[in-house]
Amino acid sequence: MPKNQYDYKNQPLIGYHSVIKHKILRDYLKAYIETLTRNVRIDTFKLAIVDGFAGGGKYQADWGSEIVYGSPINILEACNEAAIKAQSIRVKHFQLDARFYLVEENKDGHQLLNKTLIEKGYAERVNNDSDISVFNDDFKLKVFDIVQDIKKRSASARSFFLLDQYGYSDVPLSQINYIFSELPGAEILLTFNVDALLNYLNEKNLRDFQRSTGFNVDALLDSGLHNKDTRPQDWRLAAQAILHKKLIDGCFPDGHGHHTTFYIRSTGGHGDYWLVHLSRNMTARNVMVDIHWLHGNHFVHYGS
């Protein structure tokens, strides 16, 4: 499958399903910060946000000429709106002490992201010992430095990782386990293009997937669903159920964690993908469940 779906040298196009994904992200961050700062005696709230596959930050809608801003801008604006809301219920000054880490491996995407941040008025906050750090790097290589920097600033602070991989194999389970082990207050919002895997379901591809991600595929192989000659008509739903369970088990090998999954159907022919929220915090889980219901008309849910 292609490594990158966006043509950052020209005006990249974005689908409506991605816009909904960004809306979920934006609404969640605002609601979560509001929930945790409801006590007016809290005058400072520390937060770290990591966008591991940040993209160029600016797109053209594939349904027309509308300009659509990507996850980095949605994150920054959501936090600003949440800080204004928190200040509105206080007499004394409130500070949202947030640090943003934006990682984009594609060189053209990285250049466009910097240009977009300047265009939106964030130039003075980027890469000069301020609150926005932008990296032209592979998230798999950069995650260790970022996690250690977050720990150095405040190991107990809340941290949020948006891992919006294009496919399904750019975020190994070992790195998810590493984030949760180093940052107990972390949350992860992970995309997983399940149809990209199921469309070419065979033993070789599953074994390659296991090697690159650490994802255990034995249960899926044991089910025989990868065999085109013997699998039942509803094999895809059964395969998704097995994959989903193994994904959650792999992210929380000790069994202590919470998840909320959005099953989003692409309108552009790219297939269904999962948007999975992972955390060890019940408050985070409850807020995401509320967002799940709020956007329920924009995704399908297969159940188990």
How far is residue 150's CA from residue 144's CA, in Å, rounded to a whole number? 10
Are residues 20 and 264 in contact, defined by beta-carbon separation less than 8 angstroms?
yes
pLDDT at residue 272 in the model: 78
Structure tokens at 148: 């250690």
How many Cβ atoms are within 10 Å of 36's Cβ, its own excluded? 18
Identity (one letter) of the amino acid at 127? N
Residue 2, burial from CB neighbour count under 10 angstroms (0-12, 13-18, 19+): exposed
pLDDT at residue 266 in the model: 63
Are residues 23 and 189 in contact, defined by beta-carbon separation less than 8 angstroms?
no
Return left, alpha or beta for 93; rule: phi > 0 is left, psi -120 to 50 is alpha, else beta.
beta
Are residues 50 and 159 in contact, defined by beta-carbon separation less than 8 angstroms?
yes
Identity (one letter) of the amino acid at 149? D
Residue pLDDT, tens place only, 1-53? 444 568 898 889 998 888 889 999 999 999 999 999 999 999 999 999 999 99
How far is residue 110's CA from residue 132's CA, in Å, rounded to a whole number? 14
Structure tokens at 156: 């107990």
pLDDT at residue 4 in the model: 53
Residue pLDDT, tens place only, 236-256? 989 999 999 999 999 999 999
Of how many residues is the chain composed?
304
pLDDT at residue 1 in the model: 40
pTM: 0.93
Q: Across the 304 residues of the chain, what is the mean pLDDT of every consecutive 10-residue run?
A: 68 87 94 96 96 96 90 98 97 97 97 97 92 97 97 89 92 96 95 90 94 93 92 91 94 93 69 88 92 68 44
